[in-house]
Amino acid sequence: MNINDVLNRLEAQEQSFVASEVLAPVLPGGVVRVRIAGVVCSLRVDDARLEGWSVLQPLSTSSARVVRPARRGEVAAYLKLLPLVRLVVVARSGRLCYALPAHRGDARFHIEAPVPVQLAEEGVQLFDAIAARFDGRLFWFEARDGRRNPALAAYLRESLSARLPPARLDKKGLSAEERDAYIWVCKGLEEARRNTTEERLSSALQHAGARLVSFIERDDAYTVTYRVDGRRRVSTVRRGDLTVLTSGICLSERDRDFDLTSLVGVMREAEREEGW
């Protein structure tokens, strides 16, 4: 087949494509990827706010207009053409959720971190077991996984609210993958909380011109290591209001008259007066 034949064939398929309707998932931003004669094209949809499964009318090989929302049966038929993967939800934002494998032994997919799953339906919650489809680039939500007891996900959500340590999970039927999902969420929350604490301590010190080095969390306090004008200091402050419990210098039992920010000024004054 010569080059003219190839070009003629491509042109004929493009004309056929423009004359037909296309079922496709539309993501925020209004861009849809379709394949014409083996070539992937991006179509910009006339409604950039649209998000969901839609029937489109191509206007060219680069743009399309929305004809109507896709019917449930049409979406189901489309998704059944794609490989199925079962997942456990570990985060949710709008219609986008993130999920870990529900079966680590599935050799078709090598998922080591949560993957984004597009167009999740309303009501999908943390730890829900879901079925998704993979198109070679993106995962698409299909349905909740009816093979898993929803009481398991509810138990994990309740345990998370109660701050139950992963080692104390005790529910018959929990899979190793669901336990892993719980651990991942707990670690994420702990990291976010620690980052918030670090920002809080750092901000309190920066207001006084000091710099945070590190901190250790106690039951109701933080032991904070920081530098004041190049000198290393260690103080213990209350979690709630950063009131000083032990300052690290002699304050004649007035430690609790200060918070972390004002303590820095007291240290500077003491250094000037006593030549520390």
User: pLDDT of 121-161, one tens digit each?
Assistant: 999 999 999 999 998 889 999 999 999 999 999 999 999 99
How does pLDDT run across 226-251, given as a tens digit for each residue? Answer: 998 888 889 999 988 898 988 877 66
- Quick one: pLDDT at residue 24? 86
Cβ(239)–Cβ(249) below 8 Å: no
Is pLDDT above 50 for 11? yes
Q: Tell me what pLDDT residue 213 has.
A: 93
pLDDT digits (tens, 9 = 90+) for 72-102: 999 999 999 999 999 999 999 989 999 999 9
Distance CA 131, CA 99 (A): 10
| Overall domain count for the chain | 3
258-271 pLDDT, tens digit each: 888 988 888 887 66
> Counting Cβ atoms within 10 Å, is residue 139 exposed (0-12), middle (13-18) or buried (19+)?
buried
Ranges of H-type helices in 19-112: 72-79
- Residue 263 · residue 235 · CB < 8 Å: yes
- Domain of 52? 3-71
Q: What does the pLDDT read at residue 131?
A: 97
Cα separation, 97 vs 75, in Å, equals 19
- Residue 77: inside a domain: no
Residue 95 lies in a domain: yes
The number of beta carbons lying within 10 Å of the beta carbon of residue 266 is 18
Mean pLDDT taken over the chain: 85
Query: Residue 145's domain is classified under what CATH number?
Result: 2.40.50.140
pTM: 0.75
Whether residue 175 is found in the same domain as residue 89? yes
Does 94 share its domain with 188?
yes
CATH of the domain at 46: 2.40.50
CB 255 within 8 A of CB 244: yes
Residue 16, pLDDT above cutoff 60:
no
Q: What percent of the chain has pLDDT over 90?
A: 49
188 and 92 fall within a common domain: yes
| Helix, strand, coil percentages, rounded to 5, for the chain | 30, 35, 35
Residue the block writes with tokens 């730890």: 127
